[in-house]
């Protein structure tokens, strides 16, 4: 009997064993193929990064080498620097550098990209490179040369020692020391070198892009939990007897704030966020249940405008609407002297069952609001602006607006065709 069972099971076990060996070998080959492909991708990105840094150094040098009257060559050189820097940034993102201190170098490349783009796209025949910009380019030429040399040393070591990026990635993921620290030490050296560079004059348009928002930018005195409680109850139109729970957030940081939750009688809670400095309202959310759609987007927009006016947000104008299901999101911006100021924007959410506002986000408004903002004079007339458009475009409306941080680094300004013109909703953009 046992012989019969053995005669049946032996070939079955043998087949299973051979199958498992084949399967295991196949899995191993697939893993090796994936590892080889990943390593090849890392190596390609690293060597391309080293090559493009060398090209950036050369292009900056070429831009500085031509005479001050060669605006065409300046423009070509700056746009090449922008293109190459963008490629270098992309290659950095492909490398396993998340656990390496390389943030200063990434920011440095970002500033070079923005500086070269914003300088290169303007009309250099009318506004040639300034002395400060030439000085900045000279500093960038020297700095990029040092970074190029450091990366070249790492590249030579990688080739000579046949180092693998996967070993570095796995070691850092497991919080272990890799067998060879050449790659880590090399990139750390580059980052430390960048940290020692003196601050350059990037110009106002580039520097403003890196300004960090924090409570230090706000005016007013710090508020207490009791102050926030009073503000929250008033904004929620709840009585003084309503329950309000206030929680402090981000203590000891540049983002100190309070979250207030008001429990209204016979209703869902209302949540609000306030800045600690000045007690300014950042966000509002009414968690009530929604009914079926019963009002139009236009009606909801009008109620949202009335809501903002009632809550003390004056001269706010709807510029876009995004309806979906029984909700609609509006973007409101402040209007001053007939000019729409897009930096001072708020996002309003309204329910289409009755048109009431059930939430808003006012982060941009809080940090960008100015009572008497200086309105720059329009550099283009409406007729001149129209000439820049494709003739196939059909103009629905025109208006004057300030749009901050455009690619040109300037304000975009258009003249309003009719001051009392009704803004079309929802398709505004």
- Report the chain (429 residues): mean pLDDT per 10 consecutive residues: 60 66 63 72 84 90 83 86 86 73 80 84 82 88 89 83 74 57 78 80 64 60 89 85 84 77 80 88 86 92 94 91 86 91 90 91 85 83 86 84 57 36 36
pLDDT of residue 357: 93
pLDDT of residue 425: 40
Q: Which residue has the tokens 């070939």?
A: 11
pLDDT of residue 22: 62
DSSP state string for 55-116: HHHHHHHHHHHS-TT-HHHHHHHHHHHHHHHHHHHHHHHHSS-TTSS-HHHHHHHHHHHHHH
pLDDT of residue 424: 40
E strands, 178-326, in order: 243-249, 257-263, 269-275, 281-286, 316-324
pLDDT of residue 303: 94
- Bridge partners, residue 350, by sequence: 328, 357
Q: How far is 229 from 223, CA to CA, in rounded Å?
A: 10
Q: pTM value?
A: 0.53
pLDDT of residue 210: 55
Q: Which residue, among 193, 190, 168, has the nearest Cα to 95 in the 3D structure?
A: 168
pLDDT of residue 334: 92
Q: How far is 262 from 287, CA to CA, in rounded Å?
A: 11
pLDDT of residue 111: 85
117: exposed, middle or buried (C-beta count within 10 Å: 0-12, 13-18, 19+)? buried
pLDDT of residue 307: 94
User: Exposure string (b/e) for 46-75, b if CB count within 10 Å is 16 or more?
Assistant: beebbbbbbbbbbbbbbbeeeeeeebeebb
Q: Which residue, among 349, 163, 366, 168, has the nearest Cα to 257 in the 3D structure?
A: 366
Contact 349, 358 (CB under 8 A): yes
pLDDT of residue 253: 66
pLDDT of residue 13: 61
pLDDT of residue 207: 62
Number of helices and strands in the chain (H, E):
11, 9
Q: How many CB atoms lie within 10 A of CB 209?
A: 15
Q: How many CB atoms lie within 10 A of CB 300?
A: 27
């Amino acid at each position: 009997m046992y012989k019969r069972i053995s005669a049946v099971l032996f070939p079955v076990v043998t087949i299973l064993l051979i199958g498992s060996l084949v399967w295991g070998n196949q899995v191993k080959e697939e893993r090796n193929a994936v590892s080889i492909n990943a390593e090849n991708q890392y190596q390609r990105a690293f060597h391309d990064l080293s090559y493009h840094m060398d090209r950036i150094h050369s292009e900056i040098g070429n831009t500085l080498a031509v005479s001050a009257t060669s605006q065409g060559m300046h423009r070509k050189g700056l746009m090449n620097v922008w293109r190459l820097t963008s490629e270098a940034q992309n290659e950095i993102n492909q490398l396993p550098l998340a656990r390496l201190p390389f943030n200063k170098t990434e920011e440095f490349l970002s500033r070079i990209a923005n500086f070269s783009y914003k300088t290169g796209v303007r009309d250099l025949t009318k506004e040639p490179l300034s002395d400060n910009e030439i000085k900045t380019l000279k500093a960038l030429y020297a700095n990029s040369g040092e970074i190029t040399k450091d990366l070249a040393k790492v590249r030579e070591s990688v080739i000579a020692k046949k180092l693998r990026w996967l070993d570095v990635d796995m070691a850092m993921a497991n919080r272990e020391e890799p067998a060879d620290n050449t790659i880590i030490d090399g990139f750390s050296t580059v980052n430390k070198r960048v940290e020692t560079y003196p601050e350059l004059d990037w110009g106002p348009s580039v520097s403003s892009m890196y300004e960090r928002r924090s409570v230090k930018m706000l005016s007013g005195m710090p508020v207490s939990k009791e102050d926030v409680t009073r503000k929250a109850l008033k904004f929620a139109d709840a009585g003084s007897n309503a329950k309000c729970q206030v929680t402090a957030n981000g203590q000891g940081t540049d983002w100190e704030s309070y979250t207030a939750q008001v429990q209204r009688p016979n209703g869902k809670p209302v949540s609000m966020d306030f800045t600690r400095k000045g007690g300014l309202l950042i966000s509002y959310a009414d968690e009530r249940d929604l009914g079926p759609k019963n009002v139009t987007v236009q009606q909801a927009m009008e109620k949202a405008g009335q809501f903002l006016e009632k809550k003390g947000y004056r001269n706010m104008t709807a510029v876009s609407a995004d309806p979906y299901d029984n909700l609609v999101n509006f973007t409101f911006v402040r209007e001053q002297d007939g000019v729409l100021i897009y930096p001072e924007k708020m996002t309003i959410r309204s329910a289409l069952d009755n048109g009431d506002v059930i939430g808003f986000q006012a982060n941009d408004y809080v940090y960008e609001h100015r009572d008497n903002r200086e309105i720059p004079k329009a550099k283009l007339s409406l007729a001149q602006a129209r000439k820049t458009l494709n003739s196939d475009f059909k103009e629905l409306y025109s208006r004057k607006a300030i749009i901050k941080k455009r690619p040109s680094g300037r304000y975009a300004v258009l003249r309003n065709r009719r001051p009392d013109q009704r803004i079309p909703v929802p398709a505004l953009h």
